[in-house]
Each structure stands twice: as structure tokens, then as C-alpha cells.
């Protein structure tokens, strides 16, 4: 039997813009929002230099947003509305968007709990040598009030019986997780996404993935027996994500 969340079917990817799709979700109904949003790198510019040539690191239409501030504030505001009291938001970012995002999060009424750092153990070097090698991405953890989920016993299981620190060391997404197709900013399933889901949800919780991409977060939710719902505007990515869902154990 299909399970519904308002008018939406759970465990399904909808081809909708996030700021349209989220308006269909009832108030106070989501346990966790796990968001990997556009960083607007395409708009601001981010380049690698090699052989006296510049190469844009991300060149995608979805990552070039004219009114990026309004776009970001809108989906964060909707996030606060749809989260249950005590629900959590986890959202990725870098220098391109993380400071603005954090300011919006507090302005809207969230409480920032911590900031995880994903340390990429095999990040691409800084070819020019004019800056340190960019080796990290940030993940803001914020909650809607008190009563948030943090599974301490699971955290201890990762660290010889002690609570973890807020740094997750993990290499870039391996080829085996891209067998069904690629996404330019795909996050690792094993060793990053699964850790975040296990820390901040329990079986049966409803997870909202506002930006599906190639489906890493929804695959993680499905594998860990969480309910989920997701939005994505690019049909090619939806095809990849659904292929991964159909082949869960080789995703």
C-alpha cells in the first residue's frame, strides 16, 4: 500500500522545483532534511588553473542562480515549517554559500547545533600553489527547537566506544557508486551519507531530500529503512537515482 504525506507519495522522487514541491508537504511532518543544495559556484566562478588555462570546476545550469539569496532563504524557510519540533536540518556548503546559509538558518529560527567538516582525503591539489588545497566541505546541523535526534551509541560504535568528533574523513565518491550514472557534485554514500542518517534518524523516520541529484541521500535512506521524499528538476538525474534505487546493493 502506498504511504502518503499530505498529497505526496512517500519513497518517491518528484520532478519539481524545491520551492514548489516543499509547499505540498504538511507542517511539522519531517524528521530530517538532508540537503545538498546548489552552491552557486557557476554564478560566482570557481576555477582550476593548469598549463596557463582556467577550467571551471562546476559548470551546470542548476548551479547558476541569479537571485541566489532569495532562492536559499525560501527553501530554508520552508524547511523550518515542514520539520517536526525537534527535527533536524543537515545542509552542505563551502565558502561559496555556507556563511550566508548559516546566517539565514539562525534568522529563520533554527538553532545551530554544530558544523560537521567533511575532510576529503584525496582532494584535487591546488595546481597554482597560490592557495592551500581546498580539502573540505561543511555540513551545518541545525534543529527546530529541542528534542533533536543524535544517536550517541551509534557515534560511539564508530570511535572505539567514545563519542565522535565533528570531522568526517572520507575520500571522494568512488567509481562503484557511479555505476548507474554520474553527477558532478555527488557525495559518497558509504562513510558519509550513511553516517549522517544513522546519527540523526531512526528506522521509520521521514527524511526529506530537497535536491535529489543522482540519489545518494534517498538510496541511503532506503537502505537504512527510513521513509523519504525528494525533489529534482533534471529528468536525467531522476533516471540515475531510480536506477540506483532499483539496484540498491550495488548503488
pTM for this entry: 0.91
Of 250, 235, 231, 245, the residue nearest 75 (C-alpha): 231
Q: Are 62 and 233 in contact (CB under 8 A)?
A: yes
Confidence of residue 120 (pLDDT cuts 50, 70, 90): very high
159-192 pLDDT, tens digit per residue, is: 999 999 999 999 999 999 999 998 999 999 999 9
**Of 58-62, 72-76, 80-84, the least confident:** 58-62
Residue 69, classed as helix, strand or coil, is helix
Mean residue pLDDT across the chain: 92
For the record, the C-alpha cell of 80 comes out as 523550518
- 233: pLDDT strictly greater than 50: yes
- 49: pLDDT strictly greater than 90: no
Using a pLDDT cut of 90, give the percent of the chain over it.
Answer: 83
81-116 pLDDT, tens digit per residue, is: 999 999 999 999 999 999 999 999 999 999 999 999
* Bridge partners, residue 139, by sequence: 92, 116
What is the distance between the alpha carbons of residues 196 and 181, in angstroms, rounded to a whole number?
23
Confidence (pLDDT) at 182: 87
DSSP run (H or E) holding 90: strand 83-93
Fold of 4-39+65-250: Rossmann fold (3.40.50)
Hey, what's the torsion of the CAs at 222, 79, 192, 101, to 10 degrees? 160
Q: Determine phi and psi for 114, rounding to 5 degrees.
A: -165, 180
* Bridge partners, residue 136, by sequence: 119
What is the distance between the alpha carbons of residues 132 and 29, in angstroms, rounded to a whole number?
42
Q: Spell out the domain ranges in the chain.
A: 4-39+65-250
Amino acid at each position: 500500500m502506498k504511504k502518503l504525506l499530505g498529497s505526496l507519495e512517500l519513497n518517491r522522487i518528484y520532478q519539481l522545483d524545491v520551492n514548489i514541491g516543499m509547499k505540498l508537504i504538511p507542517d511539522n511532518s519531517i524528521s530530517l532534511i538532508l540537503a545538498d543544495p546548489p552552491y552557486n559556484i557557476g554564478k560566482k566562478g570557481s576555477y582550476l588553473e593548469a598549463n596557463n588555462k582556467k577550467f571551471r570546476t562546476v559548470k551546470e545550469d542548476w548551479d547558476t542562480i541569479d537571485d541566489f539569496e532569495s532562492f536559499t532563504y525560501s527553501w530554508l524557510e520552508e524547511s523550518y515549517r515542514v520539520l517536526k519540533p525537534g527535527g533536524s536540518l543537515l545542509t552542505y556548503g563551502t565558502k561559496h554559500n555556507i556563511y550566508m546559509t548559516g546566517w539565514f538558518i539562525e534568522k529563520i529560527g533554527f538553532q545551530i547545533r554544530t558544523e560537521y567538516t567533511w575532510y576529503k582525503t584525496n582532494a584535487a591539489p591546488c595546481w597554482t600553489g597560490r592557495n592551500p588545497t581546498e580539502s573540505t566541505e561543511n555540513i551545518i546541523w541545525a534543529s527546530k527547537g529541542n528534542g533533536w535526534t543524535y544517536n550517541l551509541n551509534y557515534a560511539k560504535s564508530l570511535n572505539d566506544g567514545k563519542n565522535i568528533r565533528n570531522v568526517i574523513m572520507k575520500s571522494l565518491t568512488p567509481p562503484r557508486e557511479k555505476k548507474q550514472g554520474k553527477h558532478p557534485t555527488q557525495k559518497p554514500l558509504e562513510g558519509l551519507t550513511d553516517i549522517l542518517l544513522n546519527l540523526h534518524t531512526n528506522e521509520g523516520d521521514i527524511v526529506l531530500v530537497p535536491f535529489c541529484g543522482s540519489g545518494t541521500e534517498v538510496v541511503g535512506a532506503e537502505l537504512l529503512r527510513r521513509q523519504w521524499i525528494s525533489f529534482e528538476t533534471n529528468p536525467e538525474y531522476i533516471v540515475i537515482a531510480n536506477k540506483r534505487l532499483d539496484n540498491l546493493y550495488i548503488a
